[in-house]
Structure 1
């Protein structure tokens, strides 16, 4: 099997995955070969690209989706998910994603998908 080539955004992918896994009950989910998406109680809260490929992320943004869609790299998520507030961001090869903004997206998406009890358990320091 040929090895995937490294992409400069692979480090961003790993950083965002590690960030998402700090949330209570968060785990990886692999709906397709090579994918390690972020989920809580088996509900995905961030679809992530595969290492070696151009960076892509999709998150459920019930509060900020309208603002997010104004960004040049964002669009409604395919498969009808966009109608439910899911937004996808795609970055061309060599284009570095805005990590802090995407962490905010992961936070909002986690809070939208996680059970209320887990959201309530987040520390005050983490709340934005």
Structure 2
């Protein structure tokens, strides 16, 4: 059995995140984050056999929290619009296209306006 059942989705999301203007990957706390100008816009990790994705969703937060496996992000980030999604073995496939859209929303929420303006509408 694959120890990382969502490895393809994780790689697709990582690749998409790193394609955004000035995006950079870092590993604070031993956890993958992708930042723009020093501000995190996505947490993306396998942890304890699950894929975890956290995004800042100022517009889609309420809708996103209705999704299976979604919860407000810990450490007080949930109050600032962050949502964490947890996918475990046996769960439905990750909707990579939806996460691409949410990733753009998260990026726009933290990136300078000049960089956000470079993204597709």
Q: Tell me the TM-score normalised to structure 1 length.
A: 0.85
Deviations 1:28-77, CA, capped at 9 Å, x for gaps: 021122x3211101100001113883111000000010111111221100
Equivalent pair of 2:44/2:53 in contact (CA under 8 Å): yes
CA-based RMSD of the aligned residues comes to: 1.6
Query: What pairs with 1:1-128 in structure 2 (closer than 5 Å)?
Result: 6-33=3-30, 35-50=31-46, 53-95=49-91, 96-122=93-119, 126-127=120-121
Look at both structures and tell me which one has the larger radius of gyration over its CA atoms. 1
Counterparts in 2 of 1:79 and 1:104: CA distance versus 1, 3 Å: same
Task: Kindly indicate which of the two structures has a greater share of residues assigned to helix.
Answer: 2
The runs of 4+ residues in structure 1 deviating greater than 2 Å are 50-53
Which stretches in structure 2 are left out of the alignment for 5+ residues? none
Match of 1:72, SS state, is coil
